[in-house]
Structure 1
Amino acid sequence: MNAEIVAGTADDVDALEPLWLAMLEHHRDVTGAEWPVRGPEPSWELCRKDYQSWLGEDGAFLLIARDPDTGGPLGYVLCRLQPSGPTFDLGERRGEVDSLVVSEQARGSGLGSALLRECKEELRRRGVAYWSIGVVEANEDAVRLYERVGFRPWVRELLARVDDE
């Protein structure tokens, strides 16, 4: 898909709501009833608040893929810069892709790969050597995409209800 990838700011966040909500429903579809997924309004309010806060600092950046005809967003990636921590020598900071969202109409077009390539280049410009991304294990298409661009399993996060036996 032909799209222009541009740097976004906190002023662009509100235009991302439809993409976020579509991703939320996609997560609901891929996880089924196994895990609780927030409703659209509370989910977007939390997301919007986080994005506004992160983009107001020097510790995050936003890249938006825009439709060349309408200028509307077709997808985006939001990446945070995190301390690498005391155990692994990953440099002073590592990139953490918080969100990669591609519109349903653009899925499978290479737009997600293009957004990740641009994200990786921005991390290089900032002197970052490592980056990570989280993915719901049931989201098999996303797992394949991330592996194609070079991500490999590193830390496994396990989740359980505290009242399960």
Structure 2
Amino acid sequence: MTVRIQRAHVRDLTRVKPLWKLLLQRYQEYTAGDWPVRDPQEAWQLRHQEYLSWINDGDGVVYLAADEADPDAGLLGYAAMRFVESGAVMNLGDAIGLIETLVVHPDHRGQGIGNQLLNQCRRELERREISYCCIETLSTNEEAMGLITKNGFRPYMTRLIRRIDTDD
């Protein structure tokens, strides 16, 4: 299979909804009930609005991975990245790329699609002369951690979380 990576237009965003819902299912599995995951429809409404805003405002991009032989079939995967200020502490340049979503359909994992999507994000950052890129994943998602570190990402910050209304 030959994979085609293309930049999404606003009209393409509904095509990523099934993959978004699969991602939420994975979050539920990886959190094992320790952390509340939003209802898939509510989560999609929020994320869809973010994607629309990022694309319309030029603050981000979404890349779609499809089978070259059947581009109208379901997507193989997608990546969504936005461009944000790097912050006051670290000298990472004016902006960094923040990969908000990276998902590959379970039937197509291990075929290099995630690598291709990450490479497309890297090329976009190079084109924009942005030197740094960040990505987050659940600490229990070893599969994603393997893909991410294989693509040159290293630990940078550690986000710790706790529920406030408990004594744990």
TM-score (norm 2): 0.94
Partners of 1:39 and 1:69 in 2: CA distance: 34
TM-score (norm 1): 0.96
3-state SS of the aligned residue for 1:56? helix
Structure 2 residue aligned with 1:122: 124
Match of 1:81 among 80, 83, 106: 83
Q: How does 1:1-165 map to 2 (within 5 A)?
A: 1-71=1-71, 72=73, 73-165=75-167
3-state SS of the aligned residue for 2:53? helix
Q: Which residue identity lines up with residue 162 of structure 2 in the other structure?
A: A
What CA deviation, in whole Å up to 9, does each residue of 1:117-152 have, x standing for no partner? 111011101100000001100111101110000111
Q: Which residue identity lines up with residue 159 of structure 2 in the other structure?
A: E
Task: Report the number of matched residues.
Answer: 165
Partners of 2:137 and 2:26 in 1: CA distance: 13
Structure 1 consecutive aligned stretches of length 4 or more whose deviation exceeds 2 Å:
none
User: In the alignment, is the contact (CA less than 8 A) between 2:2 and 2:69 conserved in 1?
Assistant: no
* Structure 2 segments unaligned to the other structure (5+ residues): none
Partners of 2:18 and 2:133 in 1: CA distance: 27
Partners of 1:67 and 1:46 in 2: CA distance: 28
Q: Which residue identity lines up with residue 3 of structure 2 in the other structure?
A: A
Q: Which residue identity lines up with residue 59 of structure 1 in the other structure?
A: D
3-state SS of the aligned residue for 1:117? helix
* Structure 1 segments unaligned to the other structure (5+ residues): none
3-state SS of the aligned residue for 2:57? coil
Partners of 2:108 and 2:31 in 1: CA distance: 22
Partners of 1:88 and 1:160 in 2: CA distance: 25
Q: Which residue identity lines up with residue 145 of structure 2 in the other structure?
A: V
User: In the alignment, is the contact (CA less than 8 A) between 2:62 and 2:78 conserved in 1?
Assistant: yes
Deviation at 1:43, TM superposition (A): 1.2
Partners of 1:10 and 1:136 in 2: CA distance: 28
Deviation at 1:66, TM superposition (A): 1.1
RMSD across aligned C-alpha pairs, in angstroms?
1.0
